[in-house]
Structure 1
Amino acid sequence: MSITLLAGFAGLCLLLAITPGPDTFLTIRYSLSGARHGIAAAVGSGIGSLLWAATVALGLGAVLERSASAFVVVKVVGGLYLLYLGVTGFIRRGGASGNDSPPSGAPTRPSTRAALYAGLFSCVLNPKVGLFFLAVVPQFLPAGTAGFGSIMVLGLIDGMVAIAWLVLLAVTVAKAVVWLQKPKVTRTIERISSGVLVLLGAGVLATARA
């Protein structure tokens, strides 16, 4: 694979990364608890992308393309997971409503491990990522080079680009929160991001049989 081809693929990955989606809103949500939480979610998403690349490289991803039922199952599970993340976001912030300062009984911050797993599972349970590797990645593979190693190289590029963008987003959001120093603003943003996750999850479930 030529440098030009790899650069073109990286550019496409960047365009897809900056397009708002579940990973974006997850990163924003966890970044409100601190940059390291958002970074953990970003890394989890990147790892999930790499796992999809490995799955497709091993030929297992083709099952999603050929089996409508398998695609629907993954889509439904992914939608339910997004709903879970969104609803728990509302519940976690519910106890702090009406107060501008965190009371002693305020919800605790999520762990970095929880943030990493959230990013990982959100990506792994998104069949569109698998279809990306099935439909788009082969277009960047020269004839006769569609082997495990070549697909994993592109998967690594996709994961690194996604992580780089999401880490930048996480640091920016975390710094903005520190600068504002307004818990009410933080709660509002988290509620919005949680609400978007709920809407995304509901949309995925509504279109599961489409």
Structure 2
Amino acid sequence: MSISLLLGFVGLCVLLAITPGPDSFLVLRFSIAGRRPGIAAAIGSALGGIVWAVVVAAGVAALLEQSATAYRAMKVVGGIYLVYLGIRTLVEHRRARTAQVRESAEAPSADVATVRAAFTAGLVSCLFNPKVGLFYLAVLPQFLTEVTFGNVLVLGAIESTVAAAEMVLLAIAAARAVALLRRPRVRDRLEQISAGVLAALGIGTATSAA
């Protein structure tokens, strides 16, 4: 793999990373709760990308390209999951509004639970997005002089690293913005918008499978 091809691939990854998608909205949704959950969602999504790189390198993703049924099934499952996240966001938001704000010894464990939930959401969302696998399958060979398991993994790792860096910066920026806008009305609107976007993306993904 030449330096020019590598630089071209990195440039493509940067352009794709700054394009909003389901993973970006997930990061924004969890960044409302704090910087750590947002970063956890970003890392989970990036790890999902590496898993897809392994799958593509092993040749399994070719099945999705050739099997319309498998591709549709994954899109439906991924869409349903995004809708679930959107609904859960609204449910958790209402519970938080009715709950009394308090400082206690249990706060750290609740924070850990939020971070774990964010990481899991990012990972699962990426794993059930077949477009990631098909992107690797279609694009990565264009930047390789020799398609091997190791070369595909290297490019997959580069793409995931670039995406993770962009989403981590997004999470930090969003968390700081939320920290400056702590008024209840602003937080309510952010929660509602992020939930609505996730649900809309999920419905669109699921219905497009038809």
When normalised by structure 1's length, the TM-score is 0.91
Cα offset for 1:130?
0.7
Tell me whether 63-72 or 87-96 shows the greater mean CA deviation: 87-96
Cα offset for 1:153?
0.5
Give me the CA root mean square deviation: 1.6
- Residue 115 of structure 1 corresponds to 118
Match of 2:100 among 95, 98, 103: 103
> Which amino acid is the alignment partner of residue 164 of structure 1?
A
Cα offset for 1:96?
4.7
> Which amino acid is the alignment partner of residue 103 of structure 1?
Q
Counterpart CA distance in 1 for 2:161 and 2:47 is 9
- Residue 183 of structure 2 corresponds to 182
Counterpart CA distance in 1 for 2:139 and 2:22 is 20
- Residue 136 of structure 1 corresponds to 139
- Residue 150 of structure 2 corresponds to 149
Counterpart CA distance in 1 for 2:159 and 2:43 is 12
> Which amino acid is the alignment partner of residue 201 of structure 2?
L
Unpaired stretches in structure 1, ≥5 consecutive residues = none
Counterpart CA distance in 2 for 1:170 and 1:187 is 18
Counterpart CA distance in 1 for 2:203 and 2:32 is 24
Q: Deviations over 1:108-140 (max 9, x none)?
A: 765211100100010010000011011111111
Counterpart CA distance in 2 for 1:151 and 1:187 is 43
Counterpart CA distance in 1 for 2:57 and 2:190 is 38
Counterpart CA distance in 2 for 1:189 and 1:6 is 38
Is 1:75 the counterpart of 2:75? The answer is: yes
SS at match of 1:95: helix
- Residue 106 of structure 2 corresponds to none
> Which amino acid is the alignment partner of residue 125 of structure 2?
S
Counterpart CA distance in 2 for 1:22 and 1:193 is 11
Please list every run of at least 4 consecutive aligned residues from structure 1 whose deviation after the TM superposition is greater than 4 angstroms: none
Cα offset for 1:11?
1.2
SS at match of 1:111: helix
Counterpart CA distance in 1 for 2:69 and 2:168 is 35
Counterpart CA distance in 2 for 1:50 and 1:95 is 35
Q: Which aligned pairs between 1:5-154 and structure 2 lie closer than 5 A?
A: 5-96=5-96, 103-104=100-101, 111-142=114-145, 145-154=146-155
> Which amino acid is the alignment partner of residue 123 of structure 1?
C
When normalised by structure 2's length, the TM-score is 0.91
SS at match of 2:89: helix
Tell me how many residue pairs correspond in the alignment. 202
Cα offset for 1:4?
1.9
Cα offset for 1:181?
2.4
More helix, by proportion: 2
Q: Which aligned pairs between 1:164-175 and structure 2 lie closer than 5 A?
A: 164-175=165-176
Q: Deviations over 1:94-117 (max 9, x none)?
A: 2355x8xx7349xx7652111001
SS at match of 1:136: helix
> Which amino acid is the alignment partner of residue 34 of structure 1?
G
Counterpart CA distance in 2 for 1:47 and 1:37 is 15
- Residue 3 of structure 1 corresponds to 3
